[in-house]
Chains A and B, each alone.
Chain A
């Protein structure tokens, strides 16, 4: 039976915000682990050498593999990946956090930076 954590009541109503909790993580642990592994140089080398083989070895399902192939940053978050493992993979595919932020907001990088107080800070 689903019971709601009283501390998180109201978060789901905030548009564009996703609660990473035990149920989400239980469903997505292998996918999260795939990104987490990128802290190890050998995992980065394996990904660069053969992306498809790396995903197969990690046991990603077809939907997860498609999200990785598409570099669908927002889709990966919506699927239930924690941003702090995702940013490790961002380093591997040479994408800055600011670039990921722009993509998640559906904006071009320059448009996003122009919404910031110091657009030259990058």
Chain B
């Protein structure tokens, strides 16, 4: 049986990709970001997941507004990394496992999540920005990706609660696959930032930390937030944090943080957090400790 062995929340700022490609890992302005990913990369190297299942958004690159899906799952053995206006990056194609992707798609639709599907399409910085900080890519990526794109660009967006429930359905889908695959679920985006209009540059560090605490311990509370609440609290583009809630829905109620890094340099609070599940049989002991 396939099983989820943990989760990662990560920003997907495109300039992370630019700085990575330019080799600025030691640059004093960038080192706190790149160093912050090293423990997560090490954790992945130790856990050796076969699959990273990404909840991410396409930035109107592969998908345009003439047909922009709310939830779309990618199927393919290879996904090129997209040209977003500045040319191609020197990264190998992202790998996929068609049987597993198709199973997830079938299970989700049969579970009443009516996904759109894309094939033979590139993937943009929604995944490609953080991926090389998580996994090595020389000579090739060590595993496959299930890409699930969520509309966080064109209102109406799916509600926070709907994203959480999508994650719950993804867990059922993963656990109904009869092959022993280890899966880490990844939610991308955030944290606080706004990058359009005169309110550009808005951040809210207090909210970012409150979000991370609530996200870990009481995620259902975050599913109550309307899109306008996310925009007010964290800036317009921080509404994409509803994609973290999809990741959270796929994980157990009780989590521990393996690692957290938070670095706000210019406009986006760049964050990476790794989570492990607290096994159900460990819960009584935990509760007794609290008493």
| Contact surface of A with B, Cβ cutoff 8 Å | 5-11, 14-22, 25, 29, 32-33, 36, 38-41, 44, 74, 77-78, 82-85, 87-92, 97-98, 101, 104-106, 112-113, 115-118, 120-122
Asked, given contacts A88-B84, A117-B265, A121-B266, whether A22 binds B201 with beta carbons under 8 Å apart, the answer is no
Contacting pair B154 A17 (CB below 8 A): no
Given A83-B237, A121-B266, 5 other A-B residues pairs in contact with their CB atoms under 8 A: A8-B155, A20-B155, A83-B196, A87-B85, A115-B201
Per-residue A-contact encoding for B226-254, CB less than 8 Å = 1, 0 else: 11110110001100000000000000000
Contacting pair A98 B65 (CB below 8 A): no
Q: Is residue B199 within 8 Å, beta carbon to beta carbon, of the partner chain?
A: yes
Contacting pair B65 A117 (CB below 8 A): no
Cα–Cα distance between A70 and B155 once the two chains are bound (Å): 28
Give chain A residues whose Cβ lies under 8 Å from the Cβ of B194.
17
Contacting pair B267 A101 (CB below 8 A): yes
Give chain A residues whose Cβ lies under 8 Å from the Cβ of B86.
91
Asked, given contacts A17-B231, A22-B156, whether A32 binds B265 with beta carbons under 8 Å apart, the answer is no
Cα–Cα distance between A18 and B235 once the two chains are bound (Å): 11
Give chain B residues whose Cβ lies under 8 Å from the Cβ of A121.
29-30, 265-266
Which single residue of chain B is at the shortest CB-CB distance from A115? B201
Asked, given contacts A29-B66, A36-B64, A105-B201, whether A5 binds B85 with beta carbons under 8 Å apart, the answer is no
Cα–Cα distance between A38 and B198 once the two chains are bound (Å): 25
Enumerate 20 A-B pairs (CB-CB under 8 Å) in ascending A order: A7-B159, A7-B227, A8-B226, A17-B236, A18-B196, A20-B154, A22-B155, A32-B65, A36-B60, A39-B82, A39-B84, A87-B14, A89-B85, A91-B86, A104-B198, A106-B198, A116-B201, A118-B29, A121-B265, A122-B29
Q: Please tell me which one of the listed residues B154, B229, B237 contacts residue A21 in the complex, with CB atoms under 8 A apart.
A: B154
Q: Is residue B264 within 8 Å, beta carbon to beta carbon, of the partner chain?
A: yes
Contacting pair B155 A7 (CB below 8 A): yes
Contacting pair B65 A29 (CB below 8 A): yes
Give chain A residues whose Cβ lies under 8 Å from the Cβ of B195.
83, 97, 101
| Dominant secondary structure at the A interface | helix
Give chain A residues whose Cβ lies under 8 Å from the Cβ of B110.
none
How many cross-chain pairs have Cβ atoms below 8 Å apart between A and B?
A: 144
Cα–Cα distance between A113 and B60 once the two chains are bound (Å): 28
Which single residue of chain B is at the shortest CB-CB distance from A76? B196
Cα–Cα distance between A10 and B239 once the two chains are bound (Å): 14
Give chain A residues whose Cβ lies under 8 Å from the Cβ of B65.
25, 29, 32, 82
Contacting pair A122 B266 (CB below 8 A): yes
Which single residue of chain B is at the shortest CB-CB distance from A91? B85
Cα–Cα distance between A101 and B268 once the two chains are bound (Å): 12
Cα–Cα distance between A44 and B84 once the two chains are bound (Å): 11
- A37 → chain B closest CB, angstroms: 9
Q: Please tell me which one of the listed residues B14, B83, B228, B265 contacts residue A41 in the complex, with CB atoms under 8 A apart.
A: B83
Contacting pair A74 B226 (CB below 8 A): no
Cα–Cα distance between A116 and B268 once the two chains are bound (Å): 10
Cα–Cα distance between A20 and B66 once the two chains are bound (Å): 14
Cα–Cα distance between A10 and B232 once the two chains are bound (Å): 8
